Amino acid sequence: MPIRHLPETLINQIAAGEVIERPAAAVKELVENAIDAGSSRVDVSIRDGGLGLITVADDGMGMTEKDLAIAVERHATSKLPDDDLVHINALGFRGEALPSIGAVSRLTITSRPRREDGSLADAAAITVDAGKKSSPAPAALPKGTRVEVRDLFYATPARLKFMKTPRTETQNVRDVVERLAMAYPDVHFTLTVDDKQTLDLPAATGDLYDRRLSRLRQIMGRDFAENALRLDAARDDVRLTGYASLPTLNRGTSQHQYFYVNGRPVRDRQLIGAVRGAYADFLASSRHPMLCLFIDLPPAQVDVNVHPAKAEVRFSDAAQVRGLLVGGLRHAIAQAGHRASTTVADQTLQAFQSPENAEQNPSWDGQYRQYAPPYRNMKGMAGAAYTGAVYAAPQEAQTAPLSGLESLPGARTHVHEVKADPVQLAYPLGAACAQLHETYIVAQTADGLVLVDQHAAHERLVYERMKTALSNGGIARQPLLIPEVVEMDEASAERLLTRSGELAELGLVIEAFGPGAVAVQETPALLGHGNIRQMVLDLADDISNYGQTMSLKEKLEEVCSTMACHGSVRAGRRLTAEEMNALLRQMEQTPHSGQCNHGRPTYVELKLNDIEKLFGRR
Ligand SMILES: Nc1ncnc2c1ncn2[C@@H]1O[C@H](COP(=O)(O)OP(=O)(O)OP(=O)(O)O)[C@@H](O)[C@H]1O
Ligand SMILES: [Mg+2]
C-alpha cells in the first residue's frame, strides 16, 4: 500500500477523537472560548445529553466575517500572537477546538463583533457540516457569539456508539460548566437542559474573596461556604488562594476537590496527593476534605500543553507547588484552632429534632444499647468511614423516645453535676456543668452549650503535645518501677524490638524478654498510667501494618495516636469540675483540637438560638 497524506476532513476527525471525547468536552471548549473572548454572560443549552444539540451564547468580543472563516480552520488561533508557547495567557492556544467539533457534527457559528470604537459591526454566520465548510453569510445576532452544535458525532458513528445515557452526559456537561464557573465568579453562567434551566449563576459582587466564596456557595453548597478556611499563601512567584473545608467537613471521595492553575481547571494526582498530605493528621485515609484551590504562577513555570483536553499541566518545580499547598493548608487548619464545623451542630440538631423518627427507624428495637466510644480499637476506626453523624451517638440513641428512659437498668444514667464557674463562662468552650454517662462533658457558654467527648478531646491534646515534644528534641520518658512484661507472638515481639531505637525516641523503652515477650522499662511521661499492655500490642500491629521500610518517625501520626489513645482519659472515668474545665481550656489553646485524629469532632456546640428553635420558641 502506498503511503499517502490523509484528506483534511479525516485529519480533523482524528484530531476530534482526542480533543472532543464526549459532549461535555465540546461544551468545555466552547465555554472556554467564550471566557477567552472576555464575556460577562455565557448561556449554555443542551438537548439529549448534548448529542442532539449544544448551544453556547456569549456577549464577548465576537468575530468578524473574515475571522469566522479562519476560526474553523485547523491550527488557526488568535491566542498566540507572538508564536510563543511559553507564555500562554488564555485558556485556548492550539486552534483545534472549532475545527474538531466541525469535523464530527453540524456546526454553526454566528458572531457580531465590536468595532474598535465600541460600536457593533454586522453579524455573520458560518456553517461546517462534517468538516465541509460553507462561506460566511450575513446573519442576525444582538451581540457576541453564538455557537450551535447539532448531531454531535453523527459523522463518526464509531464514537457515537460509546456514548453513555443522555443523563450521564448531561451530568458531565453540568460538571464542566460548574467547574469553569467556580473560577470565573464575575461571569453570569446559565445552563438549560432540554428547555429547562437547571443552573443560574449570576455574577457575584464584592472583593475577589467574597465573589469567589459566593460562587462556591452556589455550587459546593452552604455547608462548604460556612466551614471553609480561606487560603492565601505564596512561595516565590507561586500563589495559592481559595477555600478548603475544616477537617470535620469531609467526604468519602476526592471528587469535591477542585484545582485551578492560572484559571484553568486541572485534574492532577500530585495536587490531590499534596492535599492528602496536608490533612493526613486530621482525617482517616478514606476521608477527603472539600476544597477549591487556585494556583497562580508565571506562565513560563508551567507547561499547559501536555494533555489533549488541556486537563493536566506540568509544573517546572513540582516540589515547590506541593510544598506551598501542604504548608498553606496546614497553616490555615492550624489557624482554625479548636473550631469544628457547624455541620456537626446541624447534624446534631437534626437528630434531636424529630423524636417520632425513632418509631420509623427499623433498627430501633426499643432497647437502649450501651454505646461505648469506638476508641477502644483505634486501628479499626482509622479505616472506618465517618458518616457525618456525631460519633458514638448512633441515630437510635439520639432519637430514643424519652419514655424509654425508665427501663434502662444497664445504662450509666448517672449525671455528675458540678457548679458552673462564672469565670469560666466567658471562655469559648464555656464552664463545665456536668458529666453525662461518664463520657460527655456538658459546658455552658455565653450563648449556648457545648458537649465534649472527653476521651476524643484528651486524645487529641496528648497527640498534639507529643508532636510538639518530639519536634522540641524528644519526648520525656518516665521509668516504670517494675517493668511490665507484655507477651505476644514471637513475630510481633521481633518486629517491635527491631524498632526499639525509634520507639525510645518516641518515649517508649522496651527490651527483649525471652521469645514472644517484651519488657517495657519506660513510657512517655505525658501518657501517665494508661493501659501499657494494650498499647504495646497495638503498636506491634501498627508496625506490621506499615511494614519495615517506613521509619516510625514518618509514621509518627499512627504511633502517636496509638499511644495517645491509650494514655488518654478513658470514657467512663468520673472527672472533677477542675479536671473538666482544665480540659476545656487546653482544647481552646491546642491547635486542631476540634477534631480527633480521624476527623471526627471532639465537641459539638449548640447555640441558644438553635436550641430555642428546637423547642419552637422561635
Ligand atoms: N466565542 C468566541 N468569541 C470570540 N472569538 C472566538 C470565540 N470562539 C472562538 N473564537 C476565535 O476562534 C479561534 C479558534 O477557536 P478554537 O477554540 O478553535 O481555538 P483556540 O481557542 O484558539 O485554541 P484551543 O484549540 O486550545 O481551544 C480563537 O482563537 C478565537 O480567536
Ligand atoms: Mg478554544
Structure-model confidence comparison of residues 613 and 291, the more confident one: 291
For Cα atoms 293, 298, 303, give the angle at the middle one, nearest 5 degrees: 80
pLDDT for 86 equals 82
**Is the Cβ atom of 128 under 6 angstroms away from ligand 1?**
no
Q: What is the model's pLDDT at position 363?
A: 34
Q: Longest Cα pair distance anywhere in the chain, in angstroms?
A: 97
User: What pLDDT score was predicted for residue 501?
Assistant: 85
Q: Is the CB of 64 under 6 A from ligand 1?
A: no
Query: Is ligand 1 within 6 A of the CB of residue 371?
Result: no
**Residue 33 Cα, ligand 2 centroid: separation in angstroms?**
5
Fold (CATH) for 208-335:
Ribosomal Protein S5; domain 2 (3.30.230)
Whole-number Å distance, alpha carbon 37 to ligand 2 midpoint, is: 10
Ligand nearest to the CA of 126: 1
Q: Which ligand sits nearest to residue 308's alpha carbon?
A: 1
pLDDT of 519: 93
Cβ of 60 closer than 6 Å to ligand 1, yes or no, is yes
The pLDDT assigned to 249 comes to 85
- What is the Å distance from ligand 1's center to 241 Cα? 28
Which residue is closest in CA terms to ligand 1's atom 21?
A: 92
Domains 8-198 and 208-335 share a fold: no
Q: Where is pLDDT greater, at 346 or 70?
A: 70
Taking CA atoms only, the protein residue closest to ligand 1 atom 19 is 95
33 CA distance to ligand 1 middle (Å)? 5
Is residue 95 lining ligand 1, measured as CB closer than 6 Å? Answer: yes
Q: In 489-571, which residue ranges form alpha helices assigned H by DSSP?
A: 490-498, 500-505, 532-545, 556-567
- Half-sphere exposure of residue 528: CA atoms within 13 angstroms, side-chain side: 11
Cell triple for residue 507?
A: 518515649
- DSSP β-ladder status, 448-453 and 250-251: unpaired
In this structure, which ligand is nearest to the CA of 96? 1
* pLDDT (0 to 100) of residue 550: 56
Looking at the DSSP bridge assignments, the partners of residue 618 are: none
Residue 485: partners with Cβ closer than 8 Å, 6 or more residues away: 513, 517, 518, 519, 520
| DSSP, residue by residue, 397-433 | HHT--GGGGGG-TTS---EEE-PPPTTGGGSTT-EEE
> Stretch 456-482: mean pLDDT, rounded?
81
Average confidence (pLDDT) over 357-384:
30
pLDDT for 217: 92
Number of helical H runs and strand E runs in the chain: 21, 26
Q: Which atom of ligand 1 is nearest to the CA of 29?
A: 27
| 345 compared with 287, residue with greater pLDDT | 287
* Lowest mean per-residue pLDDT among 32-46, 268-282, 288-302: 268-282
Asked if 181 contacts 31 with a C-beta cutoff of 8 angstroms, the reply is no
Looking from the CA of residue 100, the nearest atom of ligand 1 is 18
pLDDT reading at 406 higher than 80? no
Q: What is the distance in A from the centroid of ligand 1 to the CA of 420?
A: 68
The CA-to-CA distance between both ends of the chain, in Å, stands at 84
Q: What pLDDT shows up at residue 539?
A: 82
Q: Mean pLDDT across the chain, nearest whole number?
A: 81
- d(CA 77, ligand 2 centre) in Å: 8
The pLDDT, as a whole number, for residue 354 is 47
Residue 331 CA, ligand 1 centroid: distance in Å: 40
Residue closest by Cα to atom 29 of ligand 1: 77
* Collapsed DSSP state (helix, strand, coil) of residue 124: strand
Any atom of ligand 1 within 6 Å of the Cβ of 464: no
Among all bound ligands, the one having the nearest atom to the CA of 111 is 1
Answer with the residue of higher pLDDT: 349 or 533. Answer: 533
**Taking the model in full, what pTM does it have?**
0.67
Whether 545 contacts 576, CB under 8 Å: no
| Ligand 1 site, residue 59, Cβ cutoff 6 A | no
- Burial code of 41-68, b = ≥16 C-beta within 10 A, e = fewer? bbbbbbbbbbbebbbbbbbbbbbbbebb
Q: Which three three-digit cell numbers place residue 91? A: 485558556
State yes or no: pLDDT of 545 exceeds 60: yes
In sequence order, which residues have a C-beta less than 8 Å from that of residue 414 and are 6 or more positions away? 437, 438
Q: Which protein residue has the closest C-alpha to ligand 1 atom 11?
A: 71
| Nine cell digits for residue 497 | 524490638
Q: How far apart are CA 24 and CA 20, in angstroms?
A: 8
Predicted local distance difference test score (pLDDT) of residue 544: 73
For the chain, the domains span 8-198, 208-335, 381-618
Note the residue count of the chain: 618
With a 6 Å cutoff on the Cβ, whether 77 touches ligand 1 is: yes
pLDDT digits (tens, 9 = 90+) for 94-118: 999 999 999 999 999 999 999 989 8
**What does the pLDDT look like over 407-454, one tens digit per residue?**
333 344 456 677 778 888 888 889 998 888 888 899 998 888 898 988
Mutation to probe ligand 1, out of 20, 30, 33, 78 (largest number of atoms < 8 A from CB): 33
Instruction: Pick the most confident of 126-130, 363-367, 546-550.
Output: 126-130
Q: Is 71 close to ligand 1, i.e. is its CB under 6 Å away? A: yes
C-alpha cell recorded at residue 196: 429547562
> What one-character-per-residue DSSP string does 273-339 give?
HHHHHHHTTTS-TT-EE-EEEEEE--GGGEE--SSTTS---EETTHHHHHHHHHHHHHHHHHHTTT-
Q: What is the pLDDT of residue 304?
A: 92
Q: Is the dihedral of CA 394, 245, 317, 319 positive or negative?
A: negative
Residue 288 has pLDDT above 80, yes or no: yes
Distance CA 463, CA 596 (A): 9
> Is the predicted pLDDT of residue 400 greater than 50, yes or no?
no
Q: What is the CATH number of domain 381-618?
A: 3.30.1540.20
379 — pLDDT class (breaks 50, 70, 90): very low
Q: State how far the Cα of 211 lies from the Cα of 219, in Å rounded to an integer.
A: 13
* Average pLDDT rounded to a whole number, residues 520-537: 79
Give the ligand with the smallest distance to the CA of 88. 1
C-alpha cell of residue 263: 484559571
Residue with the smallest CA separation from ligand 1 atom 8 is 33
CA distance 179 to 98: 21
- SS3 label, residue 87: coil
Nearest CA to ligand 1 atom 26: 92
SS3 track for 235-292: ECCEEEEEEEECCCCEECCHHHEEEEECCEEECCHHHHHHHHHHHCCCCCCCCEECEE
Name the closest-CA residue to atom 10, ligand 1: 33
Looking at residue 437, its pLDDT comes to 81
- Which of the residue ranges 262-271, 308-317, 357-366 would you say has the lowest mean pLDDT? 357-366
Question: Ligand 1, residues 36, 59, 75: which to mutate, most atoms within 8 A of Cβ?
Answer: 36
CB of residue 37 inside a 6 A radius of ligand 1:
yes
Q: How confident is the model at residue 343 (pLDDT cuts 50, 70, 90)?
A: low
Cβ(208)–Cβ(178) under 8 Å? no
Distance, in Å, from the CA atom of 180 to the CA atom of 305, rounded to the nearest integer, reads: 19
How many Cβ atoms from other residues are within 10 Å of residue 5's Cβ? 7
* pLDDT one-digit tens code per residue, 162-220: 888 888 999 999 999 999 999 999 999 999 999 999 999 999 988 888 999 999 999 98
- What DSSP string runs through 428-484? TT-EEEEEETTTEEEEEETTEEEEEEHHHHHHHHHHHHHHHHHHTT---EEEEEEEE
Give the amino acid at 610.
D
CA-closest candidate to residue 173, choices 187, 153, 189? 189
CATH of domain 8-198: 3.30.565.10
Stretch (H or E) spanning 180: helix 166-183
At 546, the pLDDT band (50, 70, 90 cuts) reads low
Q: What percent of the chain has pLDDT over 70?
A: 82
Q: Which of ligand 1's atoms lies nearest the C-alpha of 58?
A: 1
Q: Determine the distance separating the centroid of ligand 1 and the alpha carbon of 34, expressed in angstroms.
A: 8
pLDDT in tens, 115-172: 989 899 999 999 999 999 999 999 999 999 999 999 999 999 888 888 888 889 999 9
Find the mean pLDDT for residues 26-33. 97
Q: Is the CB of 50 under 6 A from ligand 1?
A: no
Task: Confirm or reject: Cβ of 58 under 6 Å from ligand 1.
Answer: yes
Q: Is the pLDDT of residue 359 over 80?
A: no
Question: Where is pLDDT greater, at 291 or 600?
Answer: 291
- Between CA 30 and CA 40, with CA 35 as vertex, the angle to 5 degrees is 120
Q: Kindly report, residue by residue over 599-613, the tens digit of the pLDDT.
A: 678 888 888 888 887
Q: Let me know the angle formed at the C-alpha of 514 by 512 and 520, rounded to the nearest 5 degrees.
A: 40
**Closest ligand to 71 CA?**
1
**Is residue 590 pLDDT above 70, yes or no?**
yes
Residues 584 and 382: their CA atoms lie apart, in Å, by 25
Ligand 1 lined by 238 (C-beta under 6 Å): no
Give the separation between CA 187 and CA 68, rounded to whole angstroms.
Answer: 24
Question: Using a 6 Å cutoff on CB, does residue 97 contact ligand 1?
Answer: yes
Q: How confident is the model at residue 555, as a pLDDT?
A: 60
Residues near 145 by beta carbon (within 8 Å), at least 6 away in sequence: 33, 34, 37, 57, 58, 60, 62, 63, 109, 110, 111, 112
CA distance 231 to 240: 7
User: Rounded to the nearest whole angstrom, what is the distance from the C-alpha of residue 35 to the centroid of ligand 1?
Assistant: 10
By C-alpha distance, which of 480, 558, 567 is closest to 526?
567
